């Protein structure tokens, strides 16, 4: 399997916190939105040159008394290491290398594999929207709190898609959402909200991520350091 070939996996996405109307916006409007978003993040030329990303920060999770530390190493387009540690508590190491994924050194489950692949896809937004333009599904606009948002569905693979909500005024992505169909017939709904954007080496980075599952807030990731196109450890993507 590759990022764009997760066959035989039953996943469907939706349940946006900011819901959009049915598709039907003009092609020109969607193209303009993508160009606005690319410009907001630093421009297409700069985003194409983003080869590696390393971020460090803190994470608060429901059920954990103390905040933890989080570090992500990303090599475009499909290598991702996500490490989370808690003082005196559990730690987790999730790794994606092309079409394979591991959790703490063991082969990841299908839902864990999908989650890692979608996380890698999110790290390539909004450039991935431009690259996948022919396959995007325009969900239209909606106004909320005096602001207008535009929702787009990005098919990542057969049966797998990512919902992306963009601020129509700024072009910044404010939300990504999904619904994962589990083997037992239940659904796992998850959403990430993005905020506190700052420009790092010419690229806009969301320094705050709020995570939700089944509509309940489960945690917050606050980035403290972002390194772009810096050398990564040679063994970073070794299981």
- CA 122 to each of CA 3, 175, 191: distance values in angstroms, whole numbers, following the listed order: 12, 10, 12
| Domains of the chain: total | 1
CATH number where 109 lies:
2.50.20
- Please give the residue that has the higher pLDDT: either 4 or 19: 19
Look at residue 87 in the predicted model and tell me its pLDDT.
Answer: 83
Sort strands 216-228 and 203-213 into parallel, antiparallel or unpaired: antiparallel
DSSP symbol at 109: P
State yes or no: pLDDT of 120 exceeds 70: yes
Task: Confirm whether 20 is domain-assigned.
Answer: no
Look at residue 182 in the predicted model and tell me its pLDDT.
Answer: 62
> Per-residue pLDDT averaged across 73-81, rounded?
97
* H/E segment holding residue 79: strand 79-85
State yes or no: pLDDT of 119 exceeds 60: yes
Pairwise CA distance, residues 112 & 69, whole Å: 20
- CA 108 to each of CA 6, 96, 102: distance values in angstroms, whole numbers, following the listed order: 14, 9, 4
Task: Confirm whether 35 is domain-assigned.
Answer: yes
Q: Which residues contact 198 (CB under 8 A, 6 or more apart)?
A: 204, 205, 207
Pairwise CA distance, residues 174 & 7, whole Å: 29
Task: Confirm whether 2 is domain-assigned.
Answer: no
pTM: 0.85
Structure confidence at residue 170 as a pLDDT band (50, 70, 90): very high
pLDDT tens string 91-110? 999 999 999 999 999 999 98
- Please give the residue that has the higher pLDDT: either 179 or 72: 72
* H/E segment holding residue 23: none
Task: Confirm whether 137 is domain-assigned.
Answer: yes
Task: Confirm whether 47 is domain-assigned.
Answer: yes
Look at residue 125 in the predicted model and tell me its pLDDT.
Answer: 96
Strands (E), the chain: 52-61, 68-75, 79-85, 91-97, 100-103, 106-107, 137-144, 147-157, 160-167, 173-181, 187-200, 203-213, 216-228
Which range of residues forms the domain containing residue 166?
A: 27-144+151-228
**Tokens matching residue 150:** 């535009």
Task: Confirm whether 66 is domain-assigned.
Answer: yes
DSSP string, 44-55: HHHHHT--EEEE
Pairwise CA distance, residues 66 & 184, whole Å: 32
DSSP string, 184-196: TS-EEEEEEEEEE
Task: Confirm whether 79 is domain-assigned.
Answer: yes
State yes or no: pLDDT of 82 exceeds 80: yes
pLDDT tens string 23-34? 444 578 899 999
Pairwise CA distance, residues 114 & 142, whole Å: 29
pLDDT tens string 187-217? 667 889 999 999 999 999 999 999 998 889 9
Task: Confirm whether 136 is domain-assigned.
Answer: yes
């Amino acid at each position: 399997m590759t990022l764009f070939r997760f066959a035989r996996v039953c996943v469907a996405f939706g349940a946006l916190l900011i819901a959009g109307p049915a598709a039907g916006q003009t092609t020109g409007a969607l193209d303009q939105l993508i160009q606005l978003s690319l410009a907001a993040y630093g421009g297409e030329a700069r985003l194409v040159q983003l080869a590696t990303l390393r971020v460090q920060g803190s994470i608060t999770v429901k059920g954990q008394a103390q905040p933890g530390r989080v570090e992500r190493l990303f090599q475009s387009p499909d290598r991702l290491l996500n490490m989370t540690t808690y003082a005196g508590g559990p730690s987790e190491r999730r790794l994606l290398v092309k079409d394979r994924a591991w959790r703490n050194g063991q082969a990841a489950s299908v839902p864990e594999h999908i989650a890692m692949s979608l996380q890698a896809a999110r790290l390539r937004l909004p450039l991935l929207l431009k690259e996948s333009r022919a396959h995007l599904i325009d969900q239209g606009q909606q106004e909320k709190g005096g602001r207008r948002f535009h929702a787009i569905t990005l098919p990542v693979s057969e049966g797998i898609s990512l919902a992306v909500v963009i601020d129509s005024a700024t072009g910044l992505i404010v939300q990504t959402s999904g619904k994962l169909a589990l083997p037992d017939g239940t659904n796992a709904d998850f959403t990430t909200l993005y905020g506190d954007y700052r420009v790092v080496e010419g690229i806009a980075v969301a320094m705050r991520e709020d995570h939700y599952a089944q509509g309940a807030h489960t945690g917050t990731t606050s980035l403290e350091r972002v390194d772009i196109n810096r050398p990564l450890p040679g063994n970073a993507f070794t299981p």
